[in-house]
Structure 1
Amino acid sequence: MRKRSPVLALLTVAAVLATPAAASAASVASVASVASDSSDSSAGQAKILSFRGMNLKIPADWRVYRDGDSVVVVTGLLCKRPEPFAPDCEGFWIFGPRAYMNVPVGGGSITYTGKTQFHPFSGVIPCPFNSKLSWYPGEKASYRGLRQVGPGHKAKYTTWPNRCVTKDTGRTTAKWTQREWFLPTSKILVVDVWNTYGLSGVLKRATWS
């Protein structure tokens, strides 16, 4: 493996796995601001997820969990640990400023700006699709631009190439893209590693309060 730079994307496959402690059922609760909404018959039954003034109409079967200043939206059927970067938990994440500012990296801290890929901690992160593999991030964005997030709000949209590698030999077994929508004025960061179907449209149709 080539030497990594000491930034958010600093992940060494030989390092000891460092993941956040699993949130307990008591500390991870459904977002209180999610309300049922079936008025849009064309989209089927839906509900509203509100976060820092951003209101998203999401499918009713997407499960929403809040832990501090972060929200996990689980879109798949199997998810044993609904927290950011937990392996085998299909969905996406929404972060507020307390989650993306002063991120601990190697004895110091870094505030997310979009210049480097977002990771909430240093160390080896399991591959999202297979916990027996390691997540090896790309250092260069594959795309940068703007995306509409409801009326009057545009996010800095960035995509990052990533690989899943074996822990013993570093052999690449899968390639995928991390997508990030960052609204610095509203202080919201949305991160998706599963290429969640319909998420771009959900964000484009957001309303604000």
Structure 2
Amino acid sequence: MRKTVYALAALAGAAMLAVPAAASASTASASTMSASASATQTLSFRGMSLTIPSGWQVYRDGDRVKVITGACGKPSAGYFTPKCDAFWIFGPKVLKYGHEGFSAYTPEQPFYPASDVQACPFNGKYGQVLGKATAVGVRQVGPGHKADYRSWFGRCVKHSNGEQTATFDQREWYLPKSKILVVDVWNTPGLADTLRRASWS
């Protein structure tokens, strides 16, 4: 008889312990969801809104936005500054001089707003040369918006003899109606999906 009583008491105790455990699992799940929601931020530019990781740093300068996604020696420096994991978003004022600094950007030519040889993204000692487009197409950027997409083959070269030291891809998403250009030379993980999931106001 005593054994039966002890067994029932033990079962009752286990049942009582099971309730708080379930509650605490539910609380942990809610807190994980909350942390996950706060792990993002919204970046808005000319009616386009992107949900990006909260750890990415956003620098605005008029008609241009620099989004730093990793290590960066000079966060507030301009376009072409080497050793800065980032992508850029440009508006129409910048696009007026997007082809070698003299004429307007068109998707048929890579975005290159300078007339001289600019620095390699990975090492400022070397220059960069952009070649032919390796991918051409149309990409969805949120509902009802399509971008002209290009990926341009880039090379880092020595100034002295043109010897190649590294390669990269310059990816560009151009929205002609919204006059927005996104440029990425770091193959930023998740950027294509982030743009595909954009929202518009």
TM-score by length of structure 2 reads 0.79
Q: Is the 8 A contact 2:151 2:172 kept in 1?
A: yes
SS in 2 for 1:61: coil
Which of structure 1's runs of 4+ aligned residues deviate more than 4 A?
Answer: 38-44
Bigger shift: 196-205 or 94-103?
94-103
> 2:48 aligned with 1:54, yes or no?
yes
Partner of 1:173: 165
Higher helix share goes to which structure? 2
Q: Is the 8 A contact 2:99 2:105 kept in 1?
A: no
> 2:65 aligned with 1:71, yes or no?
yes
Partner of 1:120: 113
Report the Cα offset of residue 42 of structure 1.
5.5
Percent identical among aligned pairs is 53
Report the Cα offset of residue 101 of structure 1.
1.1
Letter in 2 for 1:119: Y
2:85 to 84, 90, 94: 90
Report the Cα offset of residue 105 of structure 1.
3.7
Gaps of 5+ in 2: 1-31
Report the Cα offset of residue 124 of structure 1.
1.2
How many matched pairs?
A: 169
Partner of 1:34: none
1:129 to 76, 97, 122: 122
Bigger shift: 181-190 or 109-118?
109-118
TM-score by length of structure 1 reads 0.76
Q: Which has the larger radius of gyration?
A: 2
Q: Is the 8 A contact 1:79 1:90 kept in 2?
A: no
How far apart in 2 are the matches of 1:137 and 1:208?
A: 32
Letter in 2 for 1:73: V
Structure of greater relative contact order (alpha carbons < 8 Å, 6+ residues apart): 1
Partner of 2:145: 153
Report the Cα offset of residue 120 of structure 1.
1.4
How far apart in 1 are the matches of 2:98 and 2:129?
A: 19
Partner of 1:199: 191
> 2:27 aligned with 1:45, yes or no?
no
How far apart in 2 are the matches of 1:77 and 1:104?
A: 28
